[in-house]
Amino acid sequence: MSTPTRRDFVLGSAAVALATAIPSNVFAASASKIKVGVVGCGGRGRSAALDACTADPDVEIVAMGDMWADRVGEAMKTLTDRVPKQVNVPRDRQFSGWKAYEQVIATDCDYVILATPPAFRPMHLEAAIKAKKHVFMEKPIAVDAPGVRSVLASSETAKANKLSIVAGTQRRHELAYRETMKRIHDGQMGEVVACYAYWNQGGLWQVTRTPQMSDMEWQLRNWLYFTWLSGDHIVEQHIHNLDVCNWAMRSFPVKAVSLAGRQVRTDAAYGHIFDHFATEYEYESGAKMLSMCRQIDGTSSRVAEHLVGTKGSSNANTWIKGENTWRWEGERPNPYVLEHKALIDSIRGGKAINDGESVAKSTLTAIMGRMAGYSGQEVTWDDALKSDVSLMPSKLEFGKLEVPPVAVPGKTQAL
C-alpha cells in the first residue's frame, strides 16, 4: 500500500490550481511534461518507470507494453498505487504480444524505457531511434555480436539526430563511483595496471514449467537460463563490474581467456547456461583484468571491483589508498533515479547524451568472455566484434524451440 508523500500533496495541489485557474490557451506549457512509454513491464520495467516518476514530477507514463497482458495489468496496478498522478495509460495504450514494443513506440511518448530480456534490445532500440524517441535501456544491450553492432549503429543514428540514450549501467550515474573515477583518471592512483571484477552469488529465481507452456513461452518466462535471451550470467549480471573496469581503463580489452562451466546447476529447468566463469582479460596497455562470476547456491559471494594502479589501489567507489589516500564522505543519492534525471535533463536542455557506445562495448566485453568460456579458446576483441553468430531463433513465435546443447570447452565453436 502506498501512502501519500509530501510531494504527492504538493503536486496534487498544483495540478488542481492549474486546472482551475489557468486558461486553456497556455497549455503549451504542458510541453514541459515528459511522456514515457514502457517496453517490458516485469519487475525491472516497473521499477524503472517509478524511478523516472521520482526523478521528475512532470514525468507521465503514457504507454505500456509487454509480451504478457497480465504483466501489463500488474504493472498498471503497481504504478497507479504508487504514483497515481503520473500514470495516464488508458486501455488503448496498453499493449501485449510480440509487436507491443512497436505500439508503445508509435505513441506520442518522448522517451521509451526498454526493459525486456536483453535479446530484444537491439531490435527495440533500432525501432525507437528510427521513431525519433529518446531511450532509457536496461543492460545488457545485446547477447551476441550482431546485436552489439546493431546497437552501435543505432547509437550513431541517435547522435546524428540529437537523441539521448541512457543505459542502466547505474554505477556510471552513482556519485561516489564518478568521483573515484575522476580521481583515477586524474592520475591519483598512477597508471591502472590491474583490475579485478566479481559477481559471485547463489542462484536466482526460476519459473516452473506447466503443461500449457510451449517451448518458447517456457524459455521466455525463464529467460535468464537461455543464452539467446540473457547472454548467460556473465553478460546479464557481471557486465556491471566489467563496465566499471573498462571505465577505469578508459578502454576495452583486446582479448580474453576463460575457465568456465556448468558444474552444479545442471537441471534442465535451468536451460543450458553455465554456472561459473573465471576470465582473464587483457587491455592494449598490457593491464589485465581478472573477472569471476558464479551463480551457485551455498558458495561464498562477492559483488565488487578492485583496481590496482602504480601509485595506489581502489575499490572503485569509496576509497583510494596509496600516495593519494582518499575516502568518499558525501551522500549517495539513488543512482537508479539519477540515471533518469540525467536523461530528462538532457531532453529538457536539448543537449543529447549517449551511453550507447560504452554500454555496447562493455556488453561485448562480457560476450567475448562468454565466447572464451564456451569455446575454451582465446578470443580477441576484433574476432568477437565481427562474429556473425546470431543467437536469435529463426522464428519468433510460440511453439517448438529446442534448447541448444550445453557448451563444451575445446569442442564448442563460439565465434
Site of interaction with other proteins (CB under 8 A)? 42-44, 46-48, 50, 78, 168, 170, 198-205, 297-298, 300-304, 318-319, 327, 334-337
- The strands making up 326-327's β-sheet, listed across from edge to edge, are 326-327, 319-322, 312-314, 302-309, 192-201, 288-295, 276-282, 255-261, 379-380
Asked if residues 141 and 148 have their Cβ atoms less than 8 Å apart, the reply is yes
From the CB of 198, what's the least distance to other proteins, in Å?
7
Smaller CB separation from other proteins, 207 or 304: 304
Q: Which C-beta is closer to other proteins: that of 327 or that of 400?
A: 327
3-class DSSP state for residue 198?
strand
**Phi, psi dihedral angles at 358 (to 5 degrees):** -65, -40
**Following CA atoms 384, 386, 391, 397 in sequence, which dihedral angle do they give, to the nearest 10 degrees?**
150
Contact 104, 43 (CB under 8 A): no
Minimal distance in Å, beta carbon 308 to other proteins? 17
Closer residue to other proteins (CB): 42 or 73: 42
* Torsion 344-348-349-350 (CA) sign: positive
User: In whole angstroms, how close is the CB of 109 to other proteins at the nearest point?
Assistant: 20
> Tell me, what amino acid is at 41?
C
Q: Distance between CA 111 and CA 127 in Å, rounded?
A: 12
Angstrom distance (rounded) from CA 323 to CA 301: 31
Spatial CB neighbours of 341, under 8 Å, sequence gap ≥ 6: 55, 56
Give 211 or 298: the residue with its C-beta nearer to other proteins. 298
Among 167, 225, 198, which Cα is nearest to 279's? 198
Cα–Cα distance list, 77 to 29, 73, 81, 362 (Å) = 29, 6, 6, 35
Instruction: Please name the residue that has the C-alpha cell 497549455.
Output: 27
- Considering the complex, state which of residue 103 and residue 200 has its C-beta at the smaller distance from other proteins: 200
Q: How far apart are CA 248 and CA 387, in angstroms?
A: 27
Q: How far is the CB of 76 from other proteins (least distance, A)?
A: 12
- Minimal CA–CA distance to 241: which of 206, 277, 275? 277
**Smallest distance from the beta carbon of 64 to other proteins, in angstroms?**
13
As measured in angstroms, the least distance from the Cβ of 304 to other proteins is 5
The least distance separating other proteins from the CB of residue 335, rounded to whole angstroms, comes to 8
Residues pairing with 291 in the sheet: 197, 279
What is the nearest approach in angstroms of other proteins to the Cβ of residue 134? 20
Minimal distance, residue 394 CB to other proteins, in Å: 32
Question: Which C-beta is closer to other proteins: that of 81 or that of 284?
Answer: 81
Beta carbon nearer to other proteins, 25 or 210: 210
What is the C-alpha separation between 124 and 116, in angstroms, rounded? Answer: 9
Cis peptide before 4 (omega within 30 of 0): no
- Nearest approach, Cβ of 168 to other proteins (angstroms)? 8
Give least dist CB 234 to other proteins, A. Answer: 15
How far lies 369's CA from each of 84, 191, 393, in Å?
Answer: 43, 24, 22
In the complex with other proteins, the residue whose CB is nearer, 255 or 294, is 294
Which among 125, 163, 175 has a CA at the least distance from the CA of 147?
A: 125
